[in-house]
Structure 1
Amino acid sequence: MKELVETIAKALVDHPEDVRVTEEDHGHSLTLRLEVHAEDMGKVIGRHGKIAKAIRSVVYAAGTNQQKRVQLDIG
């Protein structure tokens, strides 16, 4: 799951070397935290949060296949 978020984020940003994803597994739930360069924050969030929402939808769907509830924090 971590690799999925990294791949998506690196394709969107100008500073892919600054993309960091950490994950915390809590049994049936998984928390992912995405950190990017400050200049790239707008590209990851998108206008009115549309890109962030799309990333969350993909991650949620992937988590459903693994029977895990996934939360993605962007910061």
Structure 2
Amino acid sequence: MKALIESIVTPLVDHPEDIVITESEEETKIVYHLTVHGDDVGKVIGKNGRIAKAIRTVVYATKQKSKKRIYLDIM
């Protein structure tokens, strides 16, 4: 999943070396925290959050072996 998120975000940003994706797992959910360079946050979120919503849609649509819900947090 981290590779998928990174492959989607890398072409959008000017500083791909600053992309950090961490994973935290709880009983009912898996949360991926995406951190990018300060100048690139707007590019990842997009106008009115459209790009962030599209990224989340792709991530949420992927099949998982576990039955846990997946969340993507963009910082």
TM-score of the pair, normalised by structure 1 = 0.90
Q: How far, CA to CA, are the matches of 1:11 and 1:61 in structure 2?
A: 21
Give the counterpart letter for 2:41 in structure 1: M
Give the counterpart letter for 1:70 in structure 2: I
State whether structure 2 residue 6 is matched by structure 1 residue 9: no
Q: How far, CA to CA, are the matches of 1:10 and 1:27 in structure 2?
A: 30
State whether structure 2 residue 69 is matched by structure 1 residue 69: yes
Where do 1:34-73 residues align within 5 Å? 34-62=34-62, 65-66=63-64, 67-73=67-73
Q: How far, CA to CA, are the matches of 2:22 and 2:3 in structure 1?
A: 10
How many residues matched? 73
Q: How far, CA to CA, are the matches of 1:68 and 1:11 in structure 2?
A: 29
Q: Unaligned 5+ residue runs, structure 2?
A: none
The list of structure 1 runs, each at least 4 consecutive aligned residues, that deviate by more than 6 angstroms after superposition, is none
SS in 2 for 1:71: strand
RMSD: 1.1
SS in 1 for 2:14: coil
Percent identity between matched residues is: 55
Q: Unaligned 5+ residue runs, structure 1?
A: none
- The structure whose residues are more often helix, as a share, is 1
